[in-house]
Chain A
């Protein structure tokens, strides 16, 4: 099947990509993670997000920036660097052109995650276009904000299943005056021991990775402070402070290991060495974070899934695994909620959910709560009925506005608010197609 490719350039055309098309939609960024987490569904329409680019607002004094979600993060790094700032994120595929939206949708992270977290910790606002063309904003332009649900988190790791990120607001950090890396060639067991003593010391590394036989520890801060801390780190471990070009090479080697991986795993840091030991595969392992990528033949990935599941961890395939392996190890505990969110945000199931294997295909196991529910809570009462209203009114208005050029920029009908938000517990007797949803769960 040949898919139609649509390349929106702004919010309006992004909405139109959905309202003026039919069938299954796959969202695509720079394509740097197109084979992660299994195979995408066949699509009628491919929405190419790479033209949703550019910095929208950047006030360095506020240390926040809003960008088109299709902007390559590397480009944003360059712009921020001019102001002595950075997005504190260094996932391996950033250097291959990964977009901001793609990095969020795939929940990627890099070695700096130890110090700064992943994209979820840096995103403070977003605009998302839902499968019916509804544009929705969440968060804002300030770091601190508890107004409304944080839907940017919902998009983190959603692999294009819940909507298209069109704009993202990120927080920035100052570029550190100095960065130094200490390297030590050692076994995984030794690296594990060093990790414990390093974390107990006061050096506060921002990255700590065992890259297939070498422990790499990165320190950042003021020039003097970084020197002092790296020297003491080197003494503590018997490692060597790398020159700048050596450090760049060492981290490039780390990034290549990540690029070539077949599976990404996460578990309690103390359990990680045991899992890695079992496979002896080339690995880039965050011994302090518990997150690692492994390169091993695709036909062994399922064994990794099982081993990680046994220790309560998470696992997902990366590009080189192909489609031989199961995309994910265990299923999330709250799969039923993920499915319910999918039904709410994409009831027609237009957006590709192939990346999650069969998660969205069949209803999750019936919960105990449903089992013991008295009859009136079963499918005979369409408790979710008012949602049908919502779709008819709230979402429908977005459709209309977009297909009618003249009204596209006009304010939403104020009466809609009354309708779509009228939901008191006693007011749950509406009719609608969502009545069937109850049967699914």
Chain B
């Protein structure tokens, strides 16, 4: 419970109509998309302006209250999970599209604007916002900045960090600053780039200027079935070798295909061991020839069915299946965990066979959906909590993320570390690396009030006994040194 003075200060900051303190209502803020981690906050405030946010943060700072910023709550790493005895600052009432500038091709947004709404607002000018996480209908630009979200098209177009020009940020002591500029020319070190992807630990982003791109002249999408995941993986390698950067290359294995097809009837082949969605976009003269190359490469690797979307509706259907895949897994399993890891693309086949092996050993099924172009895996660990499988499933999921590190990759491609993987960070980074990151955090937030307990491991979170030192796999391979 908050003490009276702190409570009153927050009410004064945002107005009583923008405060939730009813215990029942507070429960709806107890977790984000990672529902296994729950903590009811002491108070939720719903500011309507940057100044409201600044006032709320100042109140927290003055009363030493930890606070957690929250967008749509779609995050999958527990990054927006409340802190005990802390405050949630929800940005859901800051949903204004402040400006769309078709000449300088940028949009100014409040943090609660959904990703897809940016594109909808820009469409009248033939423009769009490129990053497109699967949850784009509901996830917010503020949350995208926290996680440096990518999406299916980031292989070609990059991530949130490549599309944000500047942002107004309320620092953890309530000071309002602007990070970033009107162009990529910065005044000194690029703090904008540090805050993007920092999972809400360095401040609260309040007004964001993003770049808009011209809608490509042509988009060509195909869905291709393959006799094995390996064959589909070879197609991806050959595309790269041919110098083709597709707008998107998505792979699904049989379990994922079954789930998606049951959910949305996207026209996927239920029996195929693997399928690829390949999309090219750009000027028509470029697209057509490369699309022919893609078809040839697919055929070379034993493609058993190749379906080309002839209309926008067919294209949308193919994508609907892919984007619904996570949720669809609920149709083939009572419970599941969505994992997120990255391996160098050339290790895809290896990681998949290892995951299959590990799943077999654990007696659990794993469905795979992934952004094959950039090696970002989303293994879905299927389990039945009622059958007592949860602990095993969580262990398997963690092991998979750590396997990605072992293969030279990363613990997370787009979901973030949050609460979920903080304790795995020492597998990827050494002591000096983590302590340097922590120093940067201290520079922004010396009081440790801004989303504490996330991203970096703490003894409270991970147990007092740190694990035995293990050399980083890249270190063993002689790729990096640790001193």
Residues of A within 8 A of B196 (CB): 150, 153
User: Does B191 have its Cβ within 8 Å of any Cβ on chain A?
Assistant: yes
- Chain A residues with CB under 8 Å of B178's CB are 333-334
Q: How far is the CB of B460 from chain A (nearest CB, A)?
A: 6
Whether A412 pairs with B184 at a CB distance below 8 angstroms is no
**Do B241 and A151 touch across chains, with their CB atoms under 8 A apart?**
no
Task: Determine if A295 is an interface residue (Cβ-Cβ < 8 Å).
Answer: no
- A136, A173, A175, A409: the one within 8 Å of B436 (CB): A136
Q: How far is the CA of A167 from the CA of B187 in the complex (A)?
A: 24
What's the tally of chain B residues with a CB closer than 8 Å to chain A? Answer: 125
Check A395/B435 contact, CB under 8 A, given A142-B409, A229-B283, A314-B183: yes
A369 interface residue (CB < 8 Å to B): yes
CA distance A144 to B344 in the complex (A): 10
DSSP class of B's interface residues: helix, strand, loop or mixed? Answer: loop
A425 and B460 CA atoms in complex are apart in Å by 12
Q: Which residues of A contact B455 (CB under 8 A)?
A: 148
Nearest CB of chain B from residue A17's CB, rounded to whole Å: 13
CB of B39 closer than 8 Å to a CB of A: no
Stretch at the interface among B112-120, B328-336, B441-449: B441-449
Name which of B169-177, B314-322, B385-393 contacts chain A. Answer: B169-177
Q: Could you tell me the distance in whole angstroms from the C-beta of B280 to the nearest C-beta in chain A?
A: 11
- Interface: A345 (CB within 8 A): yes
How large, as a class, is the contact surface on chain A? 35 or more
Min CB distance A130 to B, Å, is 7
Bound state CA distance, A121 and B164, in angstroms?
A: 12
Are the C-beta atoms of A367 and B175 separated by less than 8 Å? Answer: yes
Residues B196-218 near A (CB distance < 8 A): 196-199, 214, 216-217
Contact of B417 among A117, A147, A156, A268 (CB under 8 A): A147
CB contacts (< 8 Å) of A33 on chain B: these are none
Q: Does A368 contact B (CB under 8 A)?
A: yes
Q: How far apart sit A130 and B438, CA to CA, in the bound complex (Å)?
A: 14
Instruction: State whether the Cβ of B425 lies closer than 8 Å to any Cβ in chain A.
Output: yes
Q: Which residues of chain B in 441-483 are interfacial with respect to chain A, using CB atoms and an 8 Å cutoff?
A: 441-444, 446-449, 452-453, 455-460, 464, 466-469, 471, 474, 479-483
The answer to whether B416 and A424 touch across the interface, beta carbons within 8 angstroms, is no
Chain B residues closer than 8 Å to A424, beta-carbon distance: 448, 452-453, 458, 460
Having A61-B346, A107-B186, one finds 14 other A-B pairs with CB under 8 Å, namely: A136-B437, A143-B375, A145-B410, A146-B199, A146-B416, A174-B243, A204-B282, A269-B103, A269-B183, A314-B185, A356-B188, A417-B434, A421-B459, A423-B438
**Which residues of A are at the interface with B, using a C-beta cutoff of 8 A?**
10-12, 15, 56-57, 59, 61-64, 66, 84, 107, 109, 113, 117-118, 120-121, 127-128, 130, 134-138, 140-159, 161-162, 167, 173-177, 196, 199-200, 202-204, 221-222, 224-225, 228-229, 264-270, 289-291, 312-314, 316, 328, 330-334, 336-338, 340-341, 343-345, 356, 359, 367-370, 372-374, 376-377, 383-384, 387, 390, 394-395, 397-398, 401-402, 408-409, 411-412, 414-418, 420-428, 437-438
A-B CB contact pairs (8 Å), 21 listed: A12-B481, A62-B345, A63-B240, A128-B436, A137-B433, A138-B437, A141-B474, A146-B199, A147-B410, A149-B440, A153-B190, A167-B480, A204-B282, A314-B183, A333-B179, A341-B189, A369-B174, A398-B483, A416-B435, A421-B457, A424-B448
6 nearest A-B residue pairs (beta carbon): A153-B193, A266-B185, A174-B243, A266-B183, A202-B217, A411-B469
